[in-house]
Amino acid sequence: MSYALLFSGQGNQHPQMLPWLADDALVENMRTRLGVEDWRRALAEPAWAARNSNAQTLLTGLALAAWGQLAPLVGPPAAIAGYSVGELAAFSAAGVLDAQSTIALAPQRANAMDACAAQAPGGLLAVSGLLAPALERLIAATGLALAIRNAPDSAIVGGPYVALAKAESMALSEGAQCTRLRVSVASHTPWMRDAAESFAQTLERVRLRAPQVALFSNAADRVRDAASARSALSAQIATTVRWDECMENIQARQVSCVLEIGPGQALARMWNQRYPGIAARACEDFRSAAAVAAWLNRHDDT
């Protein structure tokens, strides 16, 4: 079976996400760490859902539980990548570290980022409709940083709130579309440098292994060994997420289809816009793990 897995990032979590997901040991582990009995009910509280530590722990735990329930029904993927915090689940699915250790890392990553944000408050702004030269001018004029590259005319910038407001006004005046992301940290920018260093120290105490399948990183290209995995997981906190390159690397593997695991369909939509000849779907499109597996198998046979 030649398919790729993409693990979603933060911001689209909602109470109805992954409707087919069953309670299992990983979901129980996540609930215990979060101190909640019903994670769907907890997500219905906007303040709780937006809290960085809650969101990163929940998304990592649910993604790994979903993959754990789907994996026995399908063959191994040909390639894996994760978007922002989705890299934690992606690296685990690729065999770099076990699921329980990965879930334990999620709040430590979030807390390191929150500590930076307390010293330098900021956030993220999605901008679409501006090509690279216009985006570069906007960044230069506002002092923001490029947080994520999605496509030639789609990116996310990050930095202090005042600068984000200025950037939004400038972008809108040039006909761009802008969306403030539901995060309270300037992820993947130099304002998170201390968090990246802190998380690197955390990772030194965790046993990592070489990936068992082709694994592509936000901050680098292909991850081939434990040392590069450790470096990539920490570096991406404070450097640009090169999601456009991740998609290019996966497309080069000549996969037959792509599956997004996590909340929403944002990554599947981006893939379908870029590579319409290779079908992409999100786990949220299905009502059972068996239905997801059937779709993957059907595309593998075509």
Of 143, 114, 85, which is closest to residue 267 (Cα–Cα)? 85
- pLDDT above 80 (res 15): yes
Q: What is the pLDDT of residue 1?
A: 56
For the segment 182-206, the average pLDDT, to the nearest whole number, is: 95
* pLDDT given at position 96: 98
Spatial CB neighbours of 296, under 8 Å, sequence gap ≥ 6: 1, 3, 74, 257, 259
> pTM to 2 decimals?
0.95
Query: Which residue is associated with the tokens 């990965």?
Result: 102
d(CA 133, CA 144): 15
Range 62-81 average pLDDT = 96
79-82 and 3-7 strand pairing: parallel
Q: Find the Cα–Cα–Cα–Cα dihedral 288, 289, 290, 292, rounded to 10°.
A: 100
Q: Calculate ∠ Cα 277-86-289, nearest 5°.
A: 65
What number is the average pLDDT over the span 94-104? Answer: 97
Cα angle: 219, vertex 210, 89; to 5 degrees: 60
Give residue 183's pLDDT.
86
**Domains in the chain, CATH or no CATH each:** 3-118+189-301 (3.40.366.10), 122-180 (3.30.70.250)
Distance CA 38, CA 6 (A): 26
* Mean pLDDT for the stretch of residues 189-205: 97
Q: What is the pLDDT of residue 184?
A: 87
pLDDT digit string (tens) for 24-62? 999 999 999 999 999 999 999 999 998 999 999 999 999
